[in-house]
Structures are given as C-alpha cells and as structure tokens.
Structure 1
Amino acid sequence: MPRALDLAVVLLLAVACSSGGPKREPVGSDKQPPPPRDAAIEASDAPGLRLPAGVTPLAYDVRLELDPDRDSFSGRVAIRVKLDAPARQIWLHADELAIGKARFVLGARSGDATVSAQTAHEMHAIGFPSPIIGEVTLELEYTGQVGEQVEGLFRQKFGGKWFLYSQAEATYARRIVPCFDEPKFKVPWRVTLVVPDGQVAVANAPVASERVVDKRRELTFATILGLPAHLFAVAVGPFAIVDLGVAGKQRVPVRALVAPNHTKRLVAARTWVPRLVDALEQYFDQPMPLAKLDLVAVPRFFGAMENPGLVTFEVTALVGNENDAGFLRRHIRFLAHELAHQWVGNAVTPAWWDDLWLAEAFATWLDDKLSSTLGALDDPALRTQLARAKALVADREPGAKPLRRALETNDDIEDAFDAISYEKGAAVIAMFEELIGAEKFRDVMRAYIKRPGSATAKDFLAQLERVDGKIANAFAGYLDRAGAPVIDMSLDCSGKPKVVATPRDGTSVPVCVRHPAGKACALATGPTTIGLAACPAWLVGNAEGRGYYHVQWKTGSTPVTQLSPAERLAHGEDRAAAIARGELGKSAALVEIDALLAMR
C-alpha cells in the first residue's frame, strides 16, 4: 500500500518542519444583527445561553406560508407550555423573526402578550399581565426571511427555478419558528404548509390532509412525535418525486425529491437504502423509527442532514452514476451516516450540545463499520487511518477541545461540529469495541438505544459499566481530556516475557499489541503488564493502528518491515507527535523517514 507509506513520510516531514496546523474558520461569523425591538423587560433579567428551568414545551402547531419565488415568509405557531411555578414571562428562541402578534390562552382566560427585545443569545421573553402557572398556550404570528445561506429557511435556483429548503441544526430552527431551541425538548409537532398550487411540499411526516384554496395548496402533515426543534425540516419547490420502493421491517416508503432532469440517476439510492437500513435494523435489533423517508437533493450544501423523514443531501452525494466507483463510495458513506442518525441522534438525542459526540461520533463509527462490512470502501484500513490522522491533527492544535466540552455561545455550538466530535469520537468508540469485543459492544448499543428520548454521556456509560466498570471509567476519561494519550512501552524478556505499557498523566487506555504469535489487549492503568508466551522477534505497540494513543518505546522498537500499511501510518503519527513533544529530534526523524522510504 504505497499511499499509506507516502502519507506516513509526508506526515513526518510536515511536523518536523512546521509548528502547527491550519486553523478552522469560525462558523456563523457573518451573521447580521436582527432589527431592534422594543424591550418589555430589563436586559439584566435575560438568561444566558441556556433557557431557564421550570418551563417545558409540550407541543407545537405550526403554519408556514412559503413560496420559493419569494425571499420572505410568514408563520403562525401555537406552543403549549407547562410552567412549574408562577411566572410573568416565558423565554424562548427567535432569531431574525418579526413577531407581529402575541397572545396567550390559559384555560378560559386569554389576552395579549408582550415581546421583549432580542437578547445576545437570540431569545425573547413573552410577557403576561400577571403571573401564570400550569399549562398555557402561546400564539405567535410572525414574518421572516428566506436567504441563500444554508441557515434556517433558504432557497437556491436550479434550472432557472427556485427551490426552498431548511437547515435547523444546530441553532437555526429559531429562524424558522419561535421555539424552545434546545435538543432535550422532544415534543409532538403538527405542521401545515401553504404553498403555491403546483409546488411540491414535504415535511418530516407524511401528508395527513390537503386542499386547494385560492390557487394555493394547504397541506397538513401527520403529527410527528418526539421531535427536537433542530431536526424540524421542510422543502418546497418544483421537485420531481421518484419512488424508491420500501425499506426495513416496517416497509417504510422511500422517495427521492430531485430536479426533473435527475430522475434517472438514482439507481444507487434504490439499491443501497434498503441494504443499509436492513444492516442497521439487524445491528440495533429495532426497526427504523420512521413513517416515511424522503431523500431531498440540494444543489449547494455542506454535505447532508439527518432530519427524520426528510434527509437532505448535497446533490452530488445523492444523484450520480452507479457505475462510477468514486461516486458510489461517497454515496454509500453519506447514506450510512444519515441513516445511522435515525437511531443515534434522532431516536436518542443528546440532551445538550456538550454531548454532540453521542450523535456524530456514533454515526461516523457506524458508517465506517457498515461501509467496510458491505464492501463500500476501496481500502478500509487506509480510510480508517486517514480519519484517525485527521482527528490526531485536530487534537494537537493549540486549544484543542475534548469530546465533551463547555459551551458559552451559539458559535461554540456550531464549532463543535469538528474532527473531534466526528473522527476522534469514532476512533475512540472503535478502540473500546476492539477491547470488549464486537458482540458485547453491540449489546451495549442495543441497551442504550432502547430508551428513546434525550440522553447524556452518563446514560451510555451506565450501559458500558454493566460490562466492566473500569472500562466505563476509562471511556469517561477520554470524554473530558483533550489530546491523545501517550503510552510508554517496553519489552522485557529477562524473565517471563512481557510488555509493560504505562500511560502518562494517570490515564487509563485500552492497549493492543501485535506479535508473531498473535495479538494481546489490556486496559492499561498505570504500569500494566501484558504477558507473552515467548520473547517475540518483533512487537507492534498499536495493533493495526486501532488505538487512539501514541506509542513511545522506552526499550526496543518496532522494525518498520514488520508493520502493516495501517500500522505504518500510525507509526508515522507516533513519530510526528514525538517531534511535537520535543522527544524526537529532526535528525532522528530523518532516519525514520529513510526507513519508511526503504519500504517503497
């Protein structure tokens, strides 16, 4: 595998000659401030990033009037809310929306409500004449903008015609509808769309009723249960609808919504959606939790978005030639990731964005696992190592964040969608799966996924603890620690042969070594002995490069001639990290490079 070798060499050269990697651009830095509003309360009363406790949304009834040819829209929402204690206001999210009318209904009592100015964290207070408690319904009428940036409601032109889409994750649902825009709030949504007659309109749920009034179509969709605001989705436009059959045990209908000239280029989706859904249902031992599945093509998009029942894809990830190997690999990876989200992220949703890895790391790990198992990767070992290398580079950046991170602003939330949450998280999960075994780890995942709703890291760790408490504690250590652990490793053949693996900084790390007679794994906590039957002719400190750690040999080393292609890449990362730590000089690094070049 010369590509793996070349990458390892480039890695060493790059780190030896550079002090740092590229910096990510902040997300959402081009936001325009909303128009000023009259303040109904003192600014000092405003909450911070999180909504105040004691107020819980119970259900939404949303009506949107949408026309892809217009750059604005109007909406109306009724939100049923429960207040645990008397309050004169309810805080909710709304950004770049002009709320023109606000009312409340409390039993037989109703009246006008006030709307505060928007806070720095994109909230408004809905105020009442006197304190209220119990269940109240907020009725809000508003208008908003349809832009061309992929935030909130946006539109794009294809073939001379406008198409309208939505992107609510992570903090853009509030640009579509005033709402409680935190992922822990999973409640029923009833959605009605009013669109020009002749336009196709879809939402998360199937259509329940439809009528035409004054040359406009009014579509009311079935109530969808347990939907957090960031997974709300709609699409309107002159789509062609292509029936792709059914998928899964419950025979969920699958359709593609594409431009009219793309209807013949969906053979791959017709083939692979059912295969991937079958594999996921078998893994989780649970049917796909959807009533329907629409795959919507977007001309210019960041990738794909897993909205339940309405998954959006950048068009070249969905539409293409099934005989093009490059397209097919990319297509399957995208499908696998977004379909995996229907269980991890959608059915079980992180309660707050500090545990984003519960959605993105698990979906990334599953799409790696499925793509490899189903033969969709040209070189699984190389792809795994490239993803691991991407994570390790991000983990060496100044100010690198842990998997579970503190969030202070909405931009922090957007920035959390990075190589740490995706690639590092997936690598850590794969490492622990390797330690405890695929079947045991599958049982952990099945138990975790059985409790639909919102979850935190503690919920997953509780299931892992049922297998082994020490392993659960080691996993927890990875969540709160930035950077990759360093393992000081030595081979001792003076008596009974053994490997001694010592994690630095008091960490606990799953370690797997490979030798001529096979492989041995252990959870290294402090100096840890891994016994060997005989003194090996050679020893690899990170078997197949599956561990998310760096090896630093104290006695002995691994001849590069005995390394598999994946292990060569991991070895290159180990030496690059040693250079960055100041433990390997540039002259010694050149020796390492010469040894790798000799393998060509």
Structure 2
Amino acid sequence: MRAMLLALLTLAQVSAQDSDYRLPKGITPSSQVIALALDPSQDGYTGVTTLLLTIDHAVEQIGIYQVDLQMVSIKLKGQGLERELAATVGEWEMSWLGDGELIPAGEYELTIEFRGKFSTDSLGMHRVAFEDNSYIFTQMEAMRARTAFPVFDEPSFKIPYQVTISAPASHAVVSNTPVASREVDDGWQTVAFMQTPPMSSYLLAWAVGPLDSTPLEGLSVPGHVYTPRGHAHELGFVLRETPKIISALEQYFGTAYPYRKLDFVAVPEFAFGAMENAGLVAYRTDLLLIGDQASGRKAENVLNTIAHEVAHMWYGDLVTMAWWDDLWLNEAFATWMARSILEGLYPEYESVLKLPQAGAFPRDQLTSAKPIRRTLRNEAEIIDGLGLKYTKGSAVLRMLEHYVGADVWQQAIRVYVDRFAWKNATEQDLWDVVSETAGIDVGRIAGDYLNQPGFATVQIGKDGTISQHRYLTLGREAADLLWHIPLNVKYKEGDQIHEITYLLDGEIGKIDLPEHVSWVLPDAGANGYYRWQIDPRHFQGLIHDMDELSDREKIGLLGNTEALLNAGELSLADFLAVVNRLLADPHPLVFLPALERVKAIGDDFVGVNNREPFARFIDHALSERFTTVGIDRKPNDSEALIQMRPRLVRVLGEFGSDPRVSAAAAEIADRYLEAPESVDADLAREALRTTALGDDGRRYAQYKQVYLSSSSADQKTNILTSMYFDDPDIVRQHLDFSISADVPAGDAATGLFRFNYVLHDHAILYDWLASNEEAFLKKIPEVYHGILPRIIGASVCSDSNLELLRTFFADRGELYQASLAKTVEGAQLCMERRARHDTALIEFLAQYQ
C-alpha cells in the first residue's frame, strides 16, 4: 500500500500516514449529509452524499472508504472551482479520488452519487424478509458503514451527520435522531432527520419497513420500540424494566442521557446480540420480544443486554475510542457497567455471583491467546479474540474499581466522561483521569493486563513470602511475564479473620502473616484477575472452613482449584472433593458452578469404559436435589433456583440414569412446543436438548415443524439451538435446512456448532461443509468466516476429530489461522487432561456402586 501511495502522490502530498491501513492525515471531514432512496422490496438502492472537507496541504487524491459501491458521479467543489473526479480502488477498502491535477489546500464540498446492493448476511445495510414482509436494517460496526455509502469510516472522524431517507409512504422510517421534516408525494415519503451530534460512522443506523411503534415511557427523552409488524404485544417486560435501567445509569454518570431520543428496534436477522447505535439501539428479536413475564437466566440476560447497550450511550458513543485498538475498553466498560447496574437494581438475580473472570481465564490461559489491546488493522483482526475483550476487560475493570474504591472509581468515570464528551479518547486518557482522582498510578497496573496475554499465579508461603509467575497449564511453555497485582488477602488466626491489601509490583514480595494461621485466601472477595497457590496445610484449612467464605469466594475457590488441577499442582481427587462440597451447598448459584464442572467432566472424560459408574455418581450427587426442587416452577422459587433448575435437569438427563428426569424433560418439551408461554424459556431449552439427546430421531420433524410455524422469536431460537440429534441423515438434513431461506443468516452456523458437541465422529460435518462451503459462507455473516474453526471444532477432544479439523483448514488461508490455533490448543488440552486423569476418575467413580 505504501509503495502505491508513493507512486501516486506528489511532493505536495498530505502529511505522512499513521499506517498503511488508515487514511492519510491532512484531509479531515467536518460534516456529512447522506440522502438515500430505500425500498425493501428491491435488491438495491441509490444515494448521494456530501462531505465538507478541510485539506491541509495540496494533494493529488482524496482517500475515502467504500466497498462494492458504484460511484456514479464524484464532484469536488471549492476554491472557486468544480471538478469531476474519478475513483481508483486501492487496498484496505479505500478508494482514491482524483483527476490527475493537484488539489490545493482549502475547504471543499465533496459530493458522490452512488448505487449499492442490500446485504443479505445481517451486516452493513441489509434487507430482511420476515413473515411475508421486507425490511431494511443496518449494522455498521465494525467496518461496515463503508459498504452502505462512501465515508471516512474511522472512529477518530467524529462528525455530525444528517440523514434523509426516501421510502414507500406506508413504511416506518427511523434513524439516530428525531424527524425534522416529512413530505409525501405519489406514494413515497421523504424523511429528513435532524443532524446528529458528533459521532463515529459505525454508530449510524436506520430502519425501514412495516414496523410497529410502541412508546417507551418514563424516560428523560422521547422513546419508542420498533418491532416487526404484529409483534408489539410481546414487549411488556422490556417496556416495564428499561426506564429503571436508564434512570440508574443517569444516576451513576451524574448526567442525563445524552441524546435527543432513545429508540429500540427489534431486528429479525442479526449477526450479534445487540448494537449501541446512538439513539437507535438494535437488538435480536429474541431479546426484546419476550412477553410480559420473564424470569431466570433469560430475564437476567435481557436486562444485562439493555444495560450494556445503553451504557454505551455514554461510554462508546458520547466518548469514543480513537481507533479499534481500544475496542476492548468500549466493550469491557459496558460489560462491567451492566453487571454493576444489575447488582444494584435487581439483587434478586444475584449477578454478583457471576464472576467475569470465570469466562476469561479458560481463553486467556492459552499460549495462543493475544493481548486484548493490540494493533488491529481490519475486521477479521477485530473479531479475533473479541469475546476476551468483554470478559477479561470487565474483570480487570472490576479489580481496579475495588483497588481504588467504588466511590473514587465512580468520581473518576464522571470526570472522564465530562472531559471527553463528544470527543475521542484512548485508554491512557482514562488511566490518567483515574490516577489523578485516586492518587495512584493505575495505568502501570492496567497496562500489564491489557498489553500482554495471560495472567499470573500468585504463591503465598506460610511465612508470608509472595511470588508470581505466569499461569500455564501442565506441559505448556510460554514467555514468563510479570504483572502489577492488587492483592486482597484474607487469613484466619485463631477465631479471627483478617484482611490485608498489598500491591505486588515485582516477582517477589512479602506480607506480614502471623505464624499460626489456619488458612490463607489470596483473593478475598474473588475480584482478582490472577490464580493463586498456598501452603498445603493452609489449603486444607481453607477447605475445612469453606463455610466461613462468602458465596462469591466459594465460587472463586472452585475455579482456582480447577486451575491448579489443570496446572498439575493438585490431584483430581482433591478437586472433586471441593466439587462435592459445593454440590451440597444450599445456595443454588453456588451449587451451579460445581454442577457445570461435573457436566464438563461428563463432556470431556466420560466414554464407554466409565459411563455407567459416572451415571451412578450423577444419580448419587444430584437426584436428591432434583427431588427437592422438582421440574415445575413453584410460586416461592427464588430467581437463583429458577436459574439452576434447567441445568440440573440437563446434567441429570444427559448423564444420569433416573427415568423421572427424562420423562419430565420430554413432558416439558412437549408442553413448550404446544404453548411456549407455559414454560420458562431456560427450562424449555434444556428440556428440548435433553429430549433430543435421548431420541432416535423421530422428534426432529416435530421440532422443525414448530420452528417453521412459530411466531415467537424466543421459541424459534430455543428450538434451533436444541437440535442435539446424532442420526446421520438428520444431521445432513438439518445442515441443509440451516442454509435455507427459513433460517436467518445470523443463525445459520448454529447447526454446525451444536453438532460438533453432539457427535463423537465429526467426519460427517466436514463432508457436508466441503460440499456446501460456498453456500454456507455466503449465507452466514462474513464476520463469522474467520472463526469457522471454532464453530465446527469447539468441542474437539479426540485425535481423529482434531486431525479432521487440521486437515480441513490446512490450505484455507490466513483468515482461519488465529481461530484454528486456539481451537487446536483447546483440543490438545482436553485430550491431555483426559489421558492424565482417566485412571484417577475411574478410582473416584469406583466408590459409587
């Protein structure tokens, strides 16, 4: 790219680029007007856009982003002249506009007429056919605005936009801002929207089609929820709870919601869960259309998603990253903020017991893991490791919040948002504000976690000596790293429990630990982003006194014990002793993580030689609790119990031998298929899966028929993600169905992903993919392409399936290699664990006769 530019530009070119993959410095847009003619019944559209530009130094060409657009006319007006420019397509999705003559420095008006095609893969400006109607929606993040119109498509170009849309007069037309004017002529309407405040192009959005509009009342600004025709009656829960979340966010930030309106739109085909478009937040339909009553994990997930997306209005939209390297901060902050809001506003869900680091450690422990803050050049690199940006990033933020104190942290966030409102900012800007507010150099702590992969194991000796080294699973090798680690250490001396805070800022440190302590807990509160190891005597004392720990600390202890097992520092028997202790815990959400560990053992370790004794263990450990909680919801059930019950049914149904469970699951599945509102959605999903796992294939036709006829978005998602059948003919039939017009693009990969878990032999999946690769890749969102190895191989735990995975992607290009490396390493770790613990597991299970 650089060589091409040197050939193109004269000595009067713009000042040097930051990098080849970004537009050169020296040409800056100050505003953009976009006019579009959109008809959802057509395949394409037309548009015209005008940008006001400032050119600092004379240039021969103007760079702009566009992908697959036909630029019909390009005119540059300024300095007393109007010039017709031509476009040359370059690298990094840039086009270069010029006429062979020098363009002097000055102020210009660049007008481009263009034509485009609607996307069908849920990205960019995409057309959706849903229940006999057609709609147009947008998904501009990360780098998709350029597929809809020519644009300076970088987050640092934060400018006002004015959007005008012409569309059939019968359709609803909405965008980021309120309507400024609407004119109707000959069956068409022209809707001009108010100019936006300064914003990045990836936050632009609009929707066109026969959408129903429902007022979203109780906000500090006007609000509506737009739904596909005929579905407005399913919004009760969202309409009731959203104002509470907005109010809580306004109170936290100390400022009113920053935009002129807040609309939600339910999108039937979506590549992601939701999108924080300023003033027009988009959601998958199954996150908004959930009826009036919702509970359990489904309700918590919906509330969390709303809080996450609306938190972005301040952090991400009002204050925006300068480049994609800091995307981690956008998503980490919104994830942390949403969890904080739920903990305060909805204590019944006990979100405090869902540790964000629990989702990060398994990915971050891989030697193929990458830092969450690193150079990102294109969309594939943005998607690579995206999930870790949410989980690790939010876990680090929570740790830092506890280190400086919640009140100080909130004060710093308020200062930061106020200081950088309507501007771009970097992660260093945040650390500068937090450091000046707290009087602590927070940046040096945060940088270790953001700019390098992995995490530490902290060892505390019986004399209080502390050391750290990089955590690695047994047999793995990687460069050793060091972190600044804020420790919160709890210990018991006699009958008194004490706490110490300590910043470990090197490889070795020391705390004042009395000589005669019963136990030490190096992560009191379970907020640390590190693993830990203590003297064996202290560890046994900690296990003995486990009831003296908080529920959150018990969950943290379980995760840490598993990490020691995987590092070769603890026996399987010791790990299972901790699991059994928590399986007996009365709190459903303390029991649940232990249950998930049991399920993981069943998934990864159980085969023909130990299935029966494992079933006896499952029955022994879980049947009594099933008898107590039952399968039907009771009026006094806590939200914690409602969340736990579905997974209990699943594990008992999949791995146990209690006939009551399979019969109850089948009854629940039938009831849900007949009347989805009669069963909790989470319980229904696990009942559907459990029933499919034990079925000979006859139920597939039933599931599919209900899926096709259902008008419930949540039911359709539950069914599609529960196709846990293993009959080869059904597998092929369902994979064919998944790329048909009956399945949304964003859901088309679900079949491959689910079958890779169900099937012992993955050969049929690769045979199907080899025969249908072109159609499959065309159907699914393009951002999924690079993670295809994980989609088809996430559950690999055998040599034969690993060889299939490697062989298939061996010659398929660089796009797949990052995901392939992580998937292969995960499979290797699984196989190594199985081999290492096989004998010990058989010995453990022998006691269950």
Asked if residue 530 in structure 1 is aligned to residue 511 in structure 2, the reply is: yes
Preserved contact between residue 520 and residue 534 of structure 2 (Cα < 8 Å): no
Aligned to 1:571: 557
More divergent stretch after superposition (449-458 vs 119-128): 119-128
Given the alignment, which residue of 140, 151, 156 partners 1:168? Answer: 140
Higher strand share: 1
CA distance in 1, matches of 2:231, 2:379: 37
Task: State yes or no: 1:429 paired with 2:394.
Answer: no
* 1:322 aligned residue: 292
Question: Where does residue 183 of structure 1 map in the other structure?
Answer: 155
* Greater relative contact order, per chain length (Cα 8 Å cut-off, separation 6+): 1
Cα displacement (A) at 1:393? 1.1
Alpha-carbon distance, 1:269 to partner: 2.2
Sort the Cα spacing of 1:57 and 1:556 in 2 relative to 1 into closer, same or farther, 3 A: farther
Aligned letter for 2:133? K
Q: Deviations over 1:468-498 (max 9, x none)?
A: 3433311122221111122121232xxxxxx
Separation in 1, partners of 2:284, 2:358: 25
Q: Separation in 1 of the partners of 2:315 and 2:538? A: 40
Partners of 2:543 and 2:466 lie apart in 1 by 20
1:549 equivalent in structure 2: 530
Matched to 2:251, the amino acid is Q
Residue matched to 1:76: 48
Aligned to 2:483: 507
Whole-Å separation in 2 of the counterparts to 1:576 and 1:98: 56
Once the two structures are superposed, residues 67-97 of structure 1 have per-residue CA deviations (whole angstroms, 9 ceiling, x without a partner) of 1111211111001111111101111110111
Aligned with 2:461: secondary structure?
A: strand
Shift of 1:262: 1.9
Deviations 1:332-361 (A, max 9, x none): 111100110001100011100001122100
Provide the residue aligned with 2:793 in structure 1. Answer: none
Corresponding letter in the other structure for 1:150 = S
Determine if the alignment matches structure 1 residue 520 to structure 2 residue 500: yes
Is the 1:90–1:126 contact (alpha carbons within 8 Å) kept by the matching residues of 2? yes
Once residues 581 and 379 of structure 2 are traced to their aligned partners in structure 1, the CA distance between those partners, rounded to angstroms, is 50
- Tell me the amino acid that sits aligned with residue 108 of structure 1: G
Task: Please state how far the C-alpha of 1:372 moved relative to its aligned partner.
Answer: 1.3
Displacement of 1:308: 0.5
* Greater C-alpha Rg: 2
Whole-Å separation in 1 of the counterparts to 2:442 and 2:491: 24
Tell me the CA shift for residue 227 of structure 1. 1.3
SS for the counterpart of 2:160 is strand
Q: Secondary structure at the match of 1:268?
A: helix
Give the C-alpha shift of residue 331 in structure 1. 1.8
Q: Contact 1:401/1:420 (CA < 8 Å) preserved in 2? A: no
2:168–2:189 CA contact under 8 A, matched in 1: yes
* Partner residue in 1 for 2:823: none
Superposed counterparts of 1:383-422, under 5 Å: 383-384=354-355, 387-416=356-385, 418-422=386-390
Distance 2:8 2:62 in 1: 15
Q: Is the CA contact (8 Å cut-off) linking 1:390 and 1:419 kept in structure 2?
A: no
Aligned AA (1:593) = L
TM-score, normalization by structure 2: 0.62
**CA RMSD after TM alignment:** 2.2
Distance 1:43 1:575 in 2: 60
2:293 maps to 1:293: no
Question: In the alignment, which residue of structure 2 is the partner of 1:438?
Answer: 406
- Residue 264 of structure 1 is matched in structure 2 by 233
Distance 1:106 1:202, change over 3 A: same
Q: Is the 8 A contact 2:56 2:105 kept in 1?
A: yes
Q: Does 2:134 correspond to 1:158?
A: no
Distance of aligned partners of 1:553 and 1:347 in 2 relative to their CA distance in 1, 3 Å threshold: same
Is the Cα contact below 8 Å between 2:249 and 2:311 reproduced in 1? Answer: yes
- Trace 1:333-482 onto structure 2 (pairs within 5 A): 333-375=304-346, 378-384=349-355, 387-416=356-385, 418-450=386-418, 451-452=420-421, 453-466=423-436, 467-482=438-453
Contact 1:49 1:410 in 2 (8 A): no
Amino acid at match of 1:332: L
Q: Distance in 2 between matches of 1:42 and 1:139?
A: 26
Larger CA deviation: 468-477 vs 425-434: 468-477
Instruction: Specify the code of the residue in structure 2 equivalent to 1:371.
Output: L
Question: Any idea what the Cα deviations from partners look like across 1:527-562, whole Å, max 9, x if unmatched?
Answer: 333345784322211113211101022564332242
Q: What is the letter of the counterpart of residue 462 of structure 1?
A: D
Q: Conserved in 2, the CA contact under 8 Å of 1:503 and 1:509? A: no
Q: Is the 8 A contact 2:171 2:209 kept in 1?
A: yes
User: Match for residue 208 of structure 2?
Assistant: 236
Equivalent pair of 2:182/2:191 in contact (CA under 8 Å): yes
Could you tell me which amino acid in structure 1 is paired with residue 207 of structure 2? A
Distance (whole Å) between structure 2 residues aligned to residue 235 and residue 595 of structure 1:
52
Shift in alpha-carbon separation, 1:203–1:489, aligned structure 2, 3 A? same
Whether the 8 Å CA contact 1:435–1:510 is kept in 2: the answer is yes
Cross-structure match for 1:3: none
CA separation in 1, counterparts of 2:182 and 2:233?
A: 29
Instruction: Tell whether the 8 Å contact from 2:85 to 2:98 is kept in structure 1 after alignment.
Output: yes
The amino acid that maps onto 1:520 is I
Name 2:455's counterpart in structure 1: 484
Is contact 2:562–2:575 with CA below 8 Å preserved after alignment? no
Query: Deviations 1:311-335 (Å, cap 9, x if unpaired)?
Result: 0011111122232203422221111
Measured after TM superposition, the shift of residue 442 of structure 1 is 0.5
Matched position secondary structure for 2:354: helix
Q: Which position in structure 1 is the counterpart of 2:580?
A: 597
CA distance in 2 between partners of 1:244 and 1:507 (Å): 46
Measured against aligned partners, the alpha-carbon deviations of 1:383-423 in whole angstroms (never above 9, x if no partner) come to 22xx322211110223212121122333112335x222101
Q: CA distance change for structure 1 residues 506 and 424 in 2, over 3 Å: closer, same or farther?
A: closer
**Partner SS state of residue 454, structure 1:** strand
User: 1:306, 1:312 within 8 Å by CA — same for their partners in 2?
Assistant: yes
User: Structure 1 residues 468 and 419, CA, compared in 2 at 3 Å: closer, same or farther?
Assistant: farther
TM superposition shift of 1:433: 0.8
Instruction: Note the C-alpha offset of 1:464.
Output: 1.8
1:135-174 CA distances to partner (integer Å, 9 max, x unpaired)? Answer: 1111101111112211111122222101110000000000
Give the structure 2 partner of residue 104 of structure 1: 76
* Unaligned residue ranges in structure 1 (runs of 5+): 1-39, 493-498
Aligned ranges 1:207-218 → 2 under 5 Å: 207-218=179-190
Shift of 1:523: 1.6
Quick one: distance in 1 between partners of 2:578 and 2:414?
45
**Alignment partners' CA distance in 1, 2:5 and 2:482:** 50
d(CA) in 1 for partners of 2:216 and 2:554?
A: 43
Q: Pick closer, same or farther for the CA change 1:212–1:541 going to 2, 3 Å.
A: same
- Contact kept? 1:81, 1:135, Cα under 8 Å: yes
SS in 1 for 2:308: helix
Percent identity, please: 30
Distance 1:533 1:317 in 2: 52
Within 5 A, what are the aligned runs for 1:108-123?
108-117=80-89, 119-123=90-94
Distance 1:43 1:168 in 2: 32
Cross-structure match for 1:539? 520
Is the 8 Å Cα contact of residues 565 and 575 (structure 2) preserved in structure 1? no
Q: What is the CA–CA distance in structure 1 between the aligned matches of 2:215 and 2:147, rounded to whole Å? A: 31
Q: Kindly state the Cα deviation for residue 260 of structure 1 after the two structures are TM-superposed.
A: 3.2
1:21 alignment partner in structure 2 = none
Distance in 2, matches of 1:410 and 1:182, equals 12
SS at the partner of 1:446?
helix
Q: Any gaps of 5 or more consecutive residues in structure 2?
A: 10-16, 470-480, 585-849
Structure with more helix by fraction = 2
Distance in 2 between residues matched to 1:336 and 1:592, nearest whole Å: 36
1:264-283: CA deviation from partner (whole Å, max 9, x where unpaired)? 22222222222111111111
Report the equivalent of 2:596. Answer: none
Distance apart, 1:206 and its partner CA: 0.4
